[in-house]
Amino acid sequence: MTDLPDSSMPFTPPLGLRNRHIQNIASSVGLRKWLVNQQTRELQKDSQPVILQGENNARLQGFYNPQDKADSLVIFLHGWEGSSDSSYILSGAKTLFDQGHAVFRLNFRDHGDTHHLNRELFNSTRLSDITGAIADLQQKYPHKHYYLAGFSLGGNFALRTTIAQTEHAYRIDRTVAICPVICPHDTMNNLSSGFPLYEKYFVRKWKQSLLKKTKHFPEYDYIDRLKQVSNLKEMNEFFIPVYTPFNDCETYFDAYHLREERLGKLTTPTTIITSEDDPIVRVNMVPRTPLSDHLHVEVTRYGSHCAFLKNFKMQSWIDDRLVSLFQPKK
């Protein structure tokens, strides 16, 4: 194992990294992206591609890095329009792997290079994709301990997956959700009314994903319609009634809203980590009072959205925090 800084210390980035937009952008593009790719070349080269069977014949792709004599497997869930190769996923996976854990980086349906695996389109209510895939994963790769780490929308999926384990054939021993989407409607409104770069980013990525789907399933005839929509509100109003089981946006967003009574059903040690300056998921949406003996919430002053860059080497404090949290009880 490699020595790591004491992650119990408060997260305080240097002055030049305290602006939330600088944190957010620097965490996923440019120098950090190049550095993480360089640092994780061996991890990526040694990753074993795996197709997992979700419920309702869903197929999800992931990448497994086994570890000799490892008794723990850490499963990583990325954010919306991210992938198993997102910088924060690769960085966290390498850090945990270097600490002796086996790691698995799972792609959601229609994320990464997986648009050909399922005819039906991704939507954020498809929890059965994840619950089925994790059950299949644990059948294929038995370990003594299973840990789950999710970022942003992946944090929402991680929390719902943990709550749902009492009804499924898998086990999660500890969960960490980083800047999880709690109230989807609020997050979507925040994206639409906040720093314009974020909405433009998600509109562009979502359109690219939907267009990529048509290359594998040409029966999808929405290409001309996509050219007419220019923001997230228009895209949701077009997409949700036609390509999800929901008639309107409100009902769809409510289906994966993590209300307090839902989070109160957690029966596994769970930590939510978020920041006061998150420009995408407002900290006001995160519960600050205990909802369950199993839920702990950590709120930092800085960190932006899933970034938490602690220095100009583009290293993330979250990686250290995951190491501390994913330690089996003696």
Q: What is the 3-state secondary structure (H, E, C) of the chain?
A: CCCCCCCCCCCCCCHHHCCHHHHHHHCCCHHHHHHHHHHCHHHHHHCEEEEEECHHHCEEEEEEECCCCCCEEEEEECCCCCCCCCHHHHHHHHHHHHCCCEEEEECCCCCCCCCCCCCCCCCCCCHHHHHHHHHHHHHHCCCCEEEEEEECHHHHHHHHHHHHHHHCCCCCCEEEEECCCCCHHHHHHHHHHCCHHHHHHHHHHHHHHHHHHHHHCCCCCCHHHHHHCCCHHHHHHHHHHHHCCCCCHHHHHHHCCCCHHHHCCCCCCEEEEEECCCCCCCHHHCCCCCCCCCEEEEEECCCCCCCCECCCCCCEHHHHHHHHHCCCCC
Q: What is the pLDDT of residues 203-228, one digit of tens each?
A: 999 999 999 999 999 999 999 999 99
Averaged pLDDT, 186-191: 96
Residue with tokens 């869930």: 77
pLDDT at 288: 76
pLDDT at 3: 36
Q: How confident is the model at residue 311 (pLDDT cuts 50, 70, 90)?
A: very high
Averaged pLDDT, 175-189: 97
Burial of 272 (0-12, 13-18, 19+ CB in 10 A): buried
Each domain of the chain, given as residue ranges in start order, spans 15-183+267-325
Residues above pLDDT 90, as percent of the chain: 89
Q: What is the pLDDT of residues 26-41, one digit of tens each?
A: 998 889 999 999 999 9
Task: Name residues whose C-beta falls within 8 Å of residue 327's C-beta, 6 or more positions apart in sequence.
Answer: none
C-alpha distance from residue 228 to each of 58, 192, 234 (Å): 31, 17, 9
Q: What is the CA radius of gyration of the chain?
A: 19
Q: What is the pLDDT of residues 38-58, one digit of tens each?
A: 999 999 999 999 999 988 899
- Residue 299 · residue 288 · CB < 8 Å: yes
pLDDT at 28: 82
Residue with tokens 């769809």: 252
C-alpha distance from residue 197 to each of 50, 82, 192, 231 (Å): 34, 16, 10, 12
CATH homologous superfamily of 15-183+267-325 equals Alpha/Beta hydrolase fold, catalytic domain (3.40.50.1820)
Which residues are 60's β-sheet partners? 52
Tally of CA atoms within 13 A in the half-sphere of 2 that contains its CB: 11
Least confident of 5-9, 73-77, 171-175: 5-9
Task: Name residues whose C-beta falls within 8 Å of residue 43's C-beta, 6 or more positions apart in sequence.
Answer: 65, 90, 93, 94, 97
pLDDT at 9: 56
C-alpha distance from residue 174 to each of 125, 157, 158 (Å): 22, 14, 10
Residue 78 has pLDDT above 60, yes or no: yes
Q: How confident is the model at residue 328 (pLDDT cuts 50, 70, 90)?
A: low
Residue 104 has pLDDT above 70, yes or no: yes
Q: What is the pLDDT of residues 237-263, one digit of tens each?
A: 999 999 999 999 999 999 999 999 999
Which residues are 131's β-sheet partners? none
Least confident of 97-111, 270-284, 286-300: 286-300
